[in-house]
Amino acid sequence: MEITTLHYLVVAAALFIVGTIGVLTRRNVVIILMSIELILNAVNLNLVAFSRLYGLHGQVFSIFVITDAAAEAAVGLGILIAFFRNKETVNADEIDLLKF
C-alpha cells in the first residue's frame, strides 16, 4: 500500500494524543516537560509531511519549532531546578505556593 501524507498525519496525531495524556495525567514535572517535547515533535512531523506537497516553508518552520523547543526546555528546567532547591519536590501537585 502506498504511503500517503495521511499516514504521516495519523502518526503525528497519535504522538500528539500520547503527549497530551502525559501532560494531563503525570505528576512528575520532568515527565510533563518531556511530554511537551512529544507534542512539539508531533507538530514538526505534520509540518514536514505537508512541506512535501506545498514547498519548503514547512521545513523552515519546523527548524524554528526545534529552536524554540530547545529554549523552552532550558528555561523550564531552570525554573524546576530553582523550585527544587526551595521545596525538595518535583511533584506537580505539591508545587502550589505563590511565594516561599
Partner 1 sequence: MNPVATPFFFYGLSAIAVLSAIAVIMRRNPVHSAIALIFTLLSLAGLYLMLYAPFVAGVQIILYVGGIVVLFLFVIMLINIDRMQREYQFNKQWLVGLLAAAVLGALFVAVYVKGQSIFPHNAVRFPEESNTQQVGKMLYVDYLLPFEIASLLLLVAIVGAVVMAKKRI
The alpha carbon dihedral of 65, 66, 72, 75 has a sign of negative
Q: Is 86 in the site for partner 1 (CB under 8 A)?
A: no
Q: Which of residues 43-82 bind partner 1 (CB under 8 A)?
A: 44-45, 48-53, 56-57, 59-60, 62-64, 66-75, 77-82
Q: Is residue 95 close enough to count as binding partner 1 by CB under 8 A?
A: no
- Which residue, 85 or 99, has its beta carbon nearer to partner 1? 85
Q: How many CB atoms lie within 10 A of CB 1?
A: 4
Nearer to partner 1, 70 or 99 (CB): 70
Environment class of 37 (CB within 10 Å of its CB; exposed 0-12, middle 13-18, buried 19+): middle
